[in-house]
Every structure is written in C-alpha cells, then in structure tokens.
Structure 1
Amino acid sequence: MDILEKCRPWTEEHLRRTGRDCYFRTIGDTFDGTEAEFEGRRVIIAASHDYLGLSADPRVREAAVAAVRRFGTSLGGSRAGSGTLELHEELESRLAEFMGQEAAAVLPSGYQANLMLAPLLTDSDVVFSDFFNHVSLGEAVALGRAKERKFLHGNLDHLEELLQASDDTGIDGGKIIFTDGVFSAEGDLCDLPGLMKLADSYRARVVVDSSHDLGVLGQTGAGAGEHFGLRPDLVTSALSKSLASVGGVIAGPADVIRYLRFHARTAMFTAAASPANVAAALAALTILQAEPQRRIRVLDLAERLHNGLRALGFDTGASVTPVVPVLVTGRERCLRMWQELCTAGVFTAPMVHPIVRAGREVLRVTLTAAHTDAQLEQVLIAFEHVGRNAGVIPRSAPGSHTPVRIAHPGEAPLSGPDNVRLVP
C-alpha cells in the first residue's frame, strides 16, 4: 500500500466540508498589532497571544533590525557548534533572573523548549500530566522513555490517587508532574499550590509551562510561580506571547540546564534561535519590566471582556486570565459563528475537537494591551449581533451574571472556576 494514500481525501473540498478551511487562513497587512486586512476587509485581531502588544512596538522592531544588520539573518549552525552569541547568553541570564531560576536555555521555539525535557525521563520514571496540557509536553513524554499517567483536568484527588498507586507498585523511579500554568484553550489557572503540596508529599518534581502566564501574571509578570509565591522545579515558556518574538526557554537549576544542553537532541541538533528573534525578546523583556502598566492594561481589558460577554449571556468558563474562551457548543455552529464574526470585523480563534472535548467547542478571544477601549466595544457589539443570530445567547440580555475577577499586580491570587480570591 502507498504510504501517501491516506492523504488523497484531503482535498480543498474536504477542508471546506469539515470546517477545517478556517485554519491556515492568510491575513494581509497588519496595523499596530491590533488589526489586519483579511479577505478584503479590515478586522480586529482578537486571536493573538501578543498579550503586552509589543510585537509592533518600534523599540522591539528596531532591536530586531539592528541585530540583523550586525549578525545577519541566521547563524548557520546549532548552539553547540557555531551558533552561540553573547546575545543568546544575555537573554538566558536575564530570563533566568526574571523567572526566579538559576539558569536558562533559549531554543528556537516554545515547542522545542518542552521537548528539551525528554532526556530527564527514563524507563523507570513516571510522568503525571494534566489532561489539558499543551501537546508539546505530551510529545516530550513520547520522546522520553517514562510511563505517563494522565489525571483529570485540575483534579488533585485523581492526581493523588495516581501518585499513591505509583508508590504502591514499589518501582524505585523518579516522579514528575507536568502542568500548564494557564491552559491555552480553557484559560484557567493551574492550582500550583496544590500540585506542589502533593509533589512534596510524594517526592515528585514539578514542571510548569508558563507560555500563557509569563509576562502577564505575578507582581512583576514572572508568571504562575510568582503569582502564587512559589518556585517550581523547572519552568518552560514560549517567547512568542508576551515577549513578542519567536523562541522558547527552559529555566531551572544550573546543573539541570547544563545537563539538558548536552543531552537534549532538540538543543544539540537544531539551528540556533535567530539574532533578530533573540534581540526582539531582549527588548520586549526590558519594556515588560519597565512598563508594568502594560500588564495592568491587558488584565483590565480581559476582565471587561469577560464580564461584557457574560452580561450578554455568553459562558466564558473557568478562565480568570486574558485567555477568554467563549463556549459555542457544536462544531458546525462554532465554525459558522467564527466566519460570521469575521464578516462582522472580528477575527477570533475557533477551538474544536480534538483541540477541546467534543461538546465544549469555544471561540478563544484574546485582546492585547495595545487594543483600545473602542476596539473592545466593537468586539462586544459583534459578539452580541452574531451570538443572537446564532442562538448562542438569548434575544435580550439576562438580568444578572456571575462576574469574573482577575487579580492585578499586588492583589491576592485567584484560584479555580469560582474566581475566589485566596489569602496569600
């Protein structure tokens, strides 16, 4: 049998019929990082993870341009060979300090940063993974040789059952818990205090993927660990969100990072992150630390977006973060509503199975610190019009709704679907 035969049915008609043609769509010129040309109209981009609105900042752009002028577009080799610049080491040093860790390694993508975990996993080890973790964490387990035990999303009782069962087997291996800090589809925050308490009880380590919370949560924006006043054993993150670049980082104890540099194939056998991307991330980090008002702005917009949508009758789930998942049950309805929102001038991100569970389809909406109040109002108006026509919300707004409260810097952290503030 021809190994390529499975690809034959994937015609453009198949993509249209199954709704997959809403992905890999081309946008044209962008404007201030908040709007873009899309299929002949100008739309508000409400699907970007450029949370602090720095990708279009002139200072970040100029840093990238200056790096290209000085170093060229590529280093032509891996970090282990000819691809390490002082620029890389400066970014690693600053990120380690910012993330509250001893050392850090920068990779060309956040996906690769998570794959760098694979050498830690041997055939006698067990990984305990939240069901909703980013797929790249699962790929790290697949690359390693450890056993994987998945626990129900956010369910610490189930996790403890699995940890206890692992102890009962008598296998003398290591245990490690993988979790997202903020879950990318649902927008909810992990219960890091609970996870680390269980880790202490069962002699396990904890890894947090902070791609969606680095730069956003915590007193200085250092992410979920700082948000809860805790330091996980290892933290990974993409640089393509709040740091307005492309790349990834893994941070932790110096000996662990040193070991991974020499054992992780994703680090040894891939070209170094480009000078432009590294310089852009460095500039974004400097601005992030110097301008906390950006973090305050994106959190304020997120809270207003959550509550504006809820006031209309939409369900934004358990999210207490700038990732706003609008529940639109049913694959066809979700994809149709996405298209109608585009027509109304708002570009969102449709999330259907297998990205999310069947029956829990969402339109993921994210605003950045660069969006204006007027753009927020336009998004709410479009959702009201399209949501009512689609029958997702009632013709008239409900009399009341449960408000979302997002913690700003200096406020007590949040936990769980009830959006209850914890006393630190």
Structure 2
Amino acid sequence: MSNLRPLPEAHHLMFEQHLQKLQDHHLLRRLRTIDSATGPTAVLEGREVILLSSNNYLGLATHPTVVEAAIAATRQYGAGSGAARLVCGSLMPHHTLEAALARFKGTEAALTFAAGYLTNIGAIPALIGKNGLILADRLCHASLIDGCRLSGAMFRVYHHGDMHHLERLLARRPAGTPTLIVTDGLFSMDGDIAPMQDIAQLAERYDAMIYVDDAHGTGILGRTGRGTLEYCEVESRVPFHMGTLSKALGSSGGYLTGSASFIAYLVNTCRSFTYTTAPNPGSAAAAAAALQIIEQEPERRLRLWENRARLAQGLLRLGFDLAASQSPILPIIVGDPDRAMTMAQSLFAHGVYAPAIRPPTVPPTTSRIRLTITADHTPEQIDRALVILEQAGRAINLI
C-alpha cells in the first residue's frame, strides 16, 4: 500500500494527456534496464545484444585499472563525498584528478563537477551576465542552451556551423557588448566537428570569448587525445577548456581547465559548484586512472578509429545516409519518428541495441538511429551489426 497522498484528479489527467500526446506522435520514451556493464555487448532486458549506443568510446569504463582505482578510493574515502567541497572539505582524489587534468590539457589548473550538465549551467552564467551577448550554435547540447538562458544575457542562435551568420551577428551587436561564443566541439547527435579555426579567428577579430563543450571530443580527438581544440590546433587561442569524464574517460562528472585565476574565480562564483555535493571519490579516482591509460595506450584511439572506418564504410556501402559525421558517432538519418522507432525495434529484435533519437533531442524531420562505435568492438561484431542494420533498413525501405 502506498503512503503517498493521492494525486489530484486534474493533475493526474494532465499527466496522462501529455503522455498520450507523446505516444500519438511516437515520441514517448521509457527506461530500459541493462543488467551488465556497457561494453561492446550488454544484457538488455534479459538478452545479450551488440551495444551501439554507448559513449564509452575507449572501453575504459570496464578497464580493470580504472575499476580497481574506483574500488580503492571508495574503500579509503567512502561511497560519497559528504557535502559540497567548500563545506565539508576537498578530498584528495578530487585534487589528484584536477592536477592530472591540468597536466593533460596543458593548463595551470582545473576544476571538476558532478556532471557535465552542472559544469555548463554554472560556468556560462559565471562568465557572462545580463549586460552581455551569447551567440550559440543551433545544435548546441541542451546543457549549453540552459546555461545560456540562466545567464540572463541576450541570447542569439547562429545556423549550425555557419560562420557567415555568426559574423553577421557579431558585426551587428552594440559597441562594447561583452560577447561569448558557445559551441560544442564534437556535436553529439550529428558527429561533426565545429570549425574551431574560423570561430577562433572571429572571436579574435570581434573581441569575443569562446566557450567550447568538448564532452565527446575529449580522449578521442587530437594527436594525443586532448580533444577538439588539439585536433583543430587552437588550444592556445581558447582560454578555458570544458569536457566531461563520462564518455571516453569511462567515469562520471565534468571539468573545466584554464588559468589558476580562472579556476579560483569559478570556485567563488559558480553556483553549480558551490551548492552541489562533490563527485564521489571513486569516480574521481577512476577518471584519473583513465587519463593515465589514454596517455600510455594510444593504440586504443587507433583501434577506435579503425572500427569507426569499418562501420562507416559498411554503412555507406549499404546506402545509408550518415549526415556529416567525422567521428565515432554515426547517425543514420531516418526522418519520421515512427519509422525510426520501427527500425530501432527491428534492430533490437535481431540483437543490436541502437535506439531511435527523436525530437526534441534532434530537429523535426531528422529522427535517426544514432550509432556509436568503441575501441572494444571486434570486427566480427561490427560485421554482424551491419547485416542486422541492412535487414532493418530494407524493412522500412530506407535503403
């Protein structure tokens, strides 16, 4: 028997009507239970499937060294951090990770957050306020958009990757307006890379700051895996670098790196740092261990890109539309959300899990199957997945 007070009938009806509307438009979502680690395969709702939806690009979430680091830190420091770091004290695993991140990114200092989302919704308002202007790429991640809105600054969106549109907006702003250009480094739903050389040139010409969310680029892009800014050769032209610990690093959390004064400024002004319990020590230790592996085992990145090439070439050979992907994120554009759902269900029925991505996550008429490949997938798994993808694509007349 529930101890909850019964929901007022009007509220219950409102919830049900909204859910039915989502169902009618093939946009209803539900949680699916995975009863295993998220490796190249996973046990999903009782059956083993080839997992093509994880952002665990380098397979580090299950790497024995990373797992053992999390266990050891948990044994020593506990499962939780107790409180925010300014309240309860700052645990050594957080300091160790931040020092490692600063070394990895070539900056003076770093600050970690419990999630990438918290990093963005706290840092952007700390950088610019209601007297400023934010110009953001149309396909920015939701956390960036929310951070922009929370800042209170004037907020304008430029067409995706369109530097002519961005420059027009910069040229039209009132003289002396503090300006922040906001973009993803590697876009999570299309798999393309922001034109960072052009953005840096415009920022310098019009005296604007740049804020880049490199959640998906960190660990996989660039000669040493430092991310999109290294790949685009603009690291020294962007004063602070944001990323997450939850993709290629196989842990959880977000981070910012930059000058010591910038990090001290965030400690004193960033609400999502000040008022949030610190990340658990096990996650911090796991991320620090993952950074070491990224630096010591570059062959993981090589294997990831070999797998990406094998999957992408196979999909193109079959006739799939992959949009403009330049990364291990390979979206198959379907268009209609109902057809995308039908294809995802067919894939799952035959042993591949790659869910349909539908509005509002992506623009209308661009529903897709978003595939992500990892370093740990075997050639046999990729080839088997291609057979299943071909069957599912032909079943809905997509190829």
If the TM-score is normalised by the length of the shorter chain, which range does it land in? over 0.9
Separation in 1, partners of 2:48, 2:186: 30
Tell me what 1:227 maps to. Answer: 231
2:27–2:359 contact (8 Å) kept in structure 1 = no
Tell me what 1:146 maps to. Answer: 153
Separation in 1, partners of 2:250, 2:21: 35
Separation in 2, partners of 1:90, 1:182: 27
Tell me what 2:108 maps to. Answer: 102
Tell me what 1:375 maps to. Answer: 381
Tell me what 1:415 maps to. Answer: none
Deviation string 1:159-208 (CA, Å, 9 cap, x unpaired) is 00000001xx23x3311111100000000000000000000000011111
Matched residue SS, 1:341: helix
Q: What is the one-letter code of the residue matched to 1:26?
A: T
Corresponding residue to 1:162 among 169, 183, 205: 169
Tell me what 1:177 maps to. Answer: 181
Matched residue SS, 1:321: coil
Matched residue SS, 1:36: strand
Distance 1:346 1:22, change over 3 A: farther
Q: Shift of residue 16 of structure 1?
A: 5.0
Length-normalised TM-score, structure 2? 0.94
Separation in 2, partners of 1:75, 1:278: 11
Separation in 1, partners of 2:254, 2:82: 19
1:83–1:271 contact (8 Å) kept in structure 2 = no
Corresponding residue to 1:116 among 107, 122, 125: 122
Separation in 2, partners of 1:14, 1:157: 39
Tell me what 2:4 maps to. Answer: none
Separation in 2, partners of 1:251, 1:302: 29
Tell me what 1:57 maps to. Answer: 63
Matched residue SS, 1:25: coil
Q: Shift of residue 20 of structure 1?
A: 4.2
2:104 is the counterpart of 1:88: no
Distance 1:22 1:116, change over 3 A: closer
Q: What is the one-letter code of the residue matched to 1:19?
A: H
Q: Which has the higher helix share?
A: 2
Matched residue SS, 1:9: helix
Q: Shift of residue 18 of structure 1?
A: 4.1
Distance 1:385 1:18, change over 3 A: same
Tell me what 1:199 maps to. Answer: 203
Separation in 1, partners of 2:251, 2:359: 28
Distance 1:39 1:74, change over 3 A: closer
Matched residue SS, 2:380: helix
Tell me what 1:288 maps to. Answer: 294
Tell me what 1:218 maps to. Answer: 222
Q: What is the one-letter code of the residue matched to 1:77?
A: A
Q: What is the one-letter code of the residue matched to 1:157?
A: H
User: Unmatched 5+ residue regions in structure 2?
Assistant: 1-7
Distance 1:17 1:43, change over 3 A: farther
2:27–2:337 contact (8 Å) kept in structure 1 = no
Separation in 2, partners of 1:145, 1:229: 32
Distance 1:204 1:4, change over 3 A: farther
Distance 1:99 1:349, change over 3 A: farther
RMSD (Å) for aligned C-alpha atoms: 1.7
